[in-house]
Amino acid sequence: MTEPRDTKTRIMDSAEALFAEAGFDAVPIREIMRRADARLGLMSYYFESKEALLEAVIARRIDVLSSERKNRLLVFAGTSESSIEKIVDAFIDPFLEMMTTKNDGWRNYGRLIAHLAQSSRWIELIHRYFDATSELFIAELKRICPNVPDDKVVRGYVCTVGAMLHIFSITGRMRMLSDGKVDDEDIAKSGADLKTFISSGLKGTLTEGERRG
């Protein structure tokens, strides 16, 4: 079925999972290599440093995510068919589908991004890999809300990312808040409510410039 993963891949998978769970600094290289079933020295053979390993983990999945987001946006962007709902779908659905249908890697990737994006220490890394795509979405929001000041659109985008990443972080908080009734792991179900929340939130924030209809 799935072909055996080579050593470099196993190291990245292991780092992705452990960084997602505990954060970059809480994870020793030794633990990454133990989970990858490889000896300590091999990290330095494949990656320049622990930080370079983190960057490799981020870089590995960025192209497939960003191009899927971009492709879906470009179906309607710039046309009169565009809408806040469609923009939100194009932004959220690719990540959501990968986290739910693919292997655990994408799930860990989402949780890891949630850590990094909340920290000024790593925000430059997030900026470098994510913000070319961010700017496409912000530009399309601006286009369909031409009378809204730019800073409102940027704040609306940041609220969007915050809500999304907090849902994606899968901490167990929802279970705690619901006496065990809501399952944080059920990203598909959460994703539906998340998209409603974000679409409504953006509409409210960008309401002044909303087009007729």
Partner DNA sequence: GTCTATAGGCTGATAGAC
Partner DNA sequence: GTCTATCAGCCTATAGAC
Instruction: Based on the shown chain and the rule CB under 8 A, indicate whether residue 194 belongs to the binding site for a second copy.
Output: yes
Q: Which of these segments, 36-44, 55-63, 70-78, 166-174, binds a second copy (CB under 8 A)?
A: 166-174
Q: Which of these segments, 42-50, 55-63, 94-102, 154-162, binds a second copy (CB under 8 A)?
A: 154-162
> For residues 158 and 154, what is the distance between their CA atoms, to the nearest angstrom?
6
- The contact mask relative to DNA for 12-41 (x = CB under 7 A, - = no) is ---------------xxxxx------xxxx
Exposed, middle or buried, 174 (CB in 10 Å: 0-12/13-18/19+)? middle
> For residues 3 and 12, what is the distance between their CA atoms, to the nearest angstrom?
16
Which of 34, 35, 50, 166 is close enough to bind DNA by CB under 7 A?
50
> For residues 133 and 58, what is the distance between their CA atoms, to the nearest angstrom?
15
- SS3 of residue 198 by DSSP: helix
Count of C-beta atoms within a 10 Å radius of residue 115: 17
Sites of contact with a second copy (CB under 8 A): 21-26, 114-115, 117-121, 123, 126-127, 131, 134-135, 138, 150-152, 154-167, 169-174, 176-178, 181-182, 189-190, 193-194, 196-205
